Amino acid sequence: MRIATWNVNGLRARLDFLRIWLQERSPDVVGLQELKLTEADFPFAELEALGYRAAVAGQKAWNGVAILARQELTLVECGLPGQEELGARLVSTTVGGLRMTSVYCPNGKGVDHPDFPRKLAWFDNLAEHLSTTAATAGSAVLCGDFNLVPEPLDSWNEAGLAGSLFHTAEERQAFARLLGLGFTDLFRRLHPTTQAFSWWDYRGGAFHRGQGLRLDLILGTAPLVSRLRTAEIDRDFRKKRQELVPSDHAPVMVELE
C-alpha cells in the first residue's frame, strides 16, 4: 500500500502536474493540501477518470484539503472543531481499514505576528481533538503540511534560523504532543540521520542550492510502523515538467506491506 501527501499550492495550477504524478507513481491513498478552491470547483470527474475517488474540504482561494483513494472511501469529518475561523484545514476518511487524515496546518506568518499564537492554539485543538476520537486508534495516518520543522536536522540552516518561524520551541513542543498520542514520523523512522527537505522557496534558487525545510510529513500509528517498508521525498516532482510549473513542495510517500 502506497500512501502519499502533497501540498499542491493551488490545484487549478497544478492539475496537469498532479495527473502526471498519479499516473507515474500510482499511490493508493493521497492527502492533498492548499487546494485553493471550493468543493464545487474540485475536479472530481478528471480524477475519477484516473481511478481516484475524493473527499474534499475546500475553500475559495485559500487553504483546502482533500484525500484521494483508489478504492471506496468514507468521509468522517471536514474541519477542525473550534477552529473554523482559520479555514478548511482538515479532512478525515476511512479507506481500506485505514483512518486517513489530511491537514494543512496554519503558517503563523512570524513569531511576532498575531497569527502565531493562533497557530499554536490550532495545534492544541488538533491534539485535543485527536485524543478524543478514533483517529489515533488502530491503523491511522495523519499527514500533510505541518508548517514546522520537527527537529534541527529538518532545516537547511538551523543555526541561523533557530527561534524563527517553523523553528521555535513552541512549535516543536506542539508537534511532540502529536507524537505523544501514538504517532510516529514514518520518514524519520527509516531515515533517522538523513537531512532531506520537502519545501523550497521559489526565490533565490533555493531548490538547486539545497536551502529547504522538511515541512510535509506522514505520521502513522504503531500497526503501520510494523508494516513500513520505504519512505521517500519525491524530489523529481519539485522540478519543472516541460512548461508545467511545480508546487514549491515535493510529494512525500511511504510504502507499507
Give the residue numbers annotated as catalytic, written as ranges: 104, 145
Report which DSSP code applies to 246. P
Burial of 152 (0-12, 13-18, 19+ CB in 10 A): middle
> What sign for the dihedral angle of Cα 257, 177, 78, 249?
negative
Grid cell, residue 144, equals 500533510
Cα separations in angstroms, 96 against 1, 18, 100, 106, 222: 10, 23, 10, 29, 17
Judge whether 105 and 121 are in contact, CB under 8 Å: no
Report which DSSP code applies to 49. H
| 173 φ/ψ angles, rounded to the nearest 5 degrees | -65, -40
How far apart, in whole angstroms, are the C-alpha atoms of residue 44 and residue 138? 29
How far apart, in whole angstroms, are the C-alpha atoms of residue 30 and residue 6? 8
Query: What contacts 12, CB < 8 A, 6 or more positions away?
Result: 36, 37, 41
